[in-house]
Amino acid sequence: MKQIIGTDKAPAAIGPYSQGVEAGGLVITSGQIPLDPATGKFPDGIREQTRQSLANVQAILAAAGTDLAHVLKTTVFLKDMNDFAAMNEVYATFFPEGAYPARSAVEVARLPKDALVEIEVIAAK
């Protein structure tokens, strides 16, 4: 059975989707852009936006009763692949060394609200 995950510690959905869904022992988040849930604004720069996107993911996972240590797969969408190294530097600090999840990273033409990065995850419960 599917359970909808939601928290006010991450930005509210801006369309017909859920922040996250749990089913069969997995938690799947929607892509998280770097909106600060308290201010509704983006931080400046790819490093800060990566940090905020992952903080939003963390909040959704916490609401589902799991955490980043249980993430199996991430997908990172970048506005500019030239930001990969800076994103990767911040990304690495969020996951246990030696237990990194599988990951895809792609450059896209445009992200919601012109974000520089969007991150989604699949985690075990």
Largest pairwise CA distance in the chain: 41
The torsion of the CA quartet 77, 78, 81, 87, rounded to 10 degrees, works out to -100
| CATH level 2 (architecture), domain 3-124 | 2-Layer Sandwich (3.30)
C-alpha dihedral sign at 27, 30, 32, 35: negative
Element spanning 58, H or E = helix 46-63
Whether residue 102 is predicted with pLDDT greater than 90 in this model: the reply is yes
Predicted confidence (pLDDT) per residue in 58-87, tens digit: 999 999 999 999 999 999 999 999 999 999
Q: Is the pTM of this model over 0.95?
A: yes
pLDDT in tens, 18-43: 999 999 999 999 999 999 999 999 99
Domain boundaries, the chain: 3-124
